[in-house]
Each structure stands twice: as C-alpha cells, then as structure tokens.
Amino acid sequence: MRTDPELRRPYAPGQHGPTRRAKLSDYALRLREKQKLRFHYGLSEKQLRRYVAKAFRAKGNPGLTLLSSLESRLDSVLFRMGYAPTIPAARQMARHGHIAVNGKRVDVPSYAVSQGDVVGPHANTKMKEQIAANRKDPNNLAIPSYLVEADVADHFRMATLPIREDIPVIVEEQKIVEFYSGK
C-alpha cells in the first residue's frame, strides 16, 4: 500500500508524533561526541579510556593531545597515507604484517608512530600492488601535512606530530574531555 506523497506527514505516526523531540541533555551531547570518536577510530571503550588518561597526564590541552595520539596510531597513519580505503582495512593490513616502521615489521595496529619514523610496505609483502592501487584511488583524502614522502618509493615519514588543523575528524574534543573529567 503506497501513500500519496502529498498525504505524508512530516512527523512520526501515533498520538505522540507531531510533538517536538526533547532537547538532549549535556550528558547525552558529550556521550555522542565520545561515541563518534570511538567509532571513527574503531576503539573499544577500554582503549579510549587509556588514551584519555594518557592525554590528561600530558602537558597541554588534553583534547588536542588525545586527537594527536589517535592520529599517530599506525592504522590511522596507514589510512591517511592512502594505503587502505578504511581504518579497519588499514588495521588488518598492519595486523597481517604487511607494514614496516623504520625498516622493521610491525604487526600492532595501535603502534604509536613517532616524529621522524618512516612507514611503508614491508620488503617481503605481496601487498605492494594493492597498496599502489589504493594510493591511486581518487576517493582518498588528501595526505596531511605531517606526513611527507620519504626517500624510498611508497614510504612516508612523520615530519611532525599531528595538529588539529590536519585532523579531519569532525568532533568537539572539549566535550569528550568534559565527559571523562566528570568520572
């Protein structure tokens, strides 16, 4: 049974349909921001709590420190370099040992890439053609300024730590800090 588009109502059915939705509480807004960040990077709650605790201990703005440390994860760096179409695909690439950091195989997706580290495909990987094809994909995001091409082909060096302008995640980091500071 199809309804005529002119008869469609712009609200949900039932006696409570035409009323406005309740305004979200401060807690709900903070929770949404935290969940956006968790799902973007594919982290468990326990992992995110560890990153937040580390950000609170560090000097400077905890929100920016948190985002910088999440962007410095190996799986995020691989995604930003265009080696994989998604962060989960980059995580699998790292987990299967196709990636080397400073010439040594690294199979931990949460490995913290430091300033000056060179990241690229491992010498013996069979994924080099796939990585080259992924890098040519026109749907990739632009490579951020903190990643520069290294001397070796298909390798990148982390020139500086990520800053907020280089991080394309649309999230209010202050609300995440507020969410965890209340606990």
Sign of CA dihedral 64, 66, 70, 73: positive
Same domain for 139 and 112: yes
pLDDT at 23: 87
Domain for residue 88, yes or no?
A: yes
Query: Over its length of 183 residues, how does the chain's per-residue pLDDT go in tens digits?
Result: 566 667 777 777 777 777 777 788 999 999 999 999 999 999 999 999 999 999 999 999 999 999 999 999 999 999 999 999 999 999 999 999 999 999 999 999 999 999 999 999 999 999 999 999 999 998 888 999 999 999 988 999 999 999 999 999 999 999 999 999 986
Domain for residue 95, yes or no?
A: yes
Same domain for 154 and 87: yes
Same domain for 174 and 105: no
**Domain of 48?**
27-70+168-181
Domain for residue 10, yes or no?
A: no
Instruction: Look up the pTM and report it.
Output: 0.87
Per DSSP, helices labelled H in 15-152 are 26-41, 45-57, 62-71, 74-81, 87-95, 128-135
Domain for residue 18, yes or no?
A: no
Contacts of 143 (CB under 8 A, 6+ apart): 80, 81, 82, 156
CA–CA separation, 125 vs 132, rounded Å?
Answer: 13
CATH number of residue 151's parent domain: 3.10.290.10
- Rg of the chain taking only CA atoms, in angstroms: 21
pLDDT at 9: 77
Same domain for 77 and 63: no
CA–CA separation, 151 vs 89, rounded Å?
Answer: 26
Q: Which of 182, 178, 160, 158 is nearest to 61 (CA)?
A: 178
What would the two tokens of residue 157 be? 């060096």
pLDDT at 153: 86
CA–CA separation, 137 vs 113, rounded Å?
Answer: 24
Alpha carbon dihedral 111, 114, 118, 124, in 10-degree steps, equals: -20
pLDDT at 143: 94
The answer to whether 179 and 33 are in contact (CB under 8 A) is yes
Same domain for 156 and 114: yes
What would the two tokens of residue 117 be? 């580290």
Same domain for 153 and 81: yes
pLDDT at 16: 74
Same domain for 156 and 77: yes
Instruction: Give the total number of structural domains in the chain.
Output: 2
Same domain for 95 and 40: no
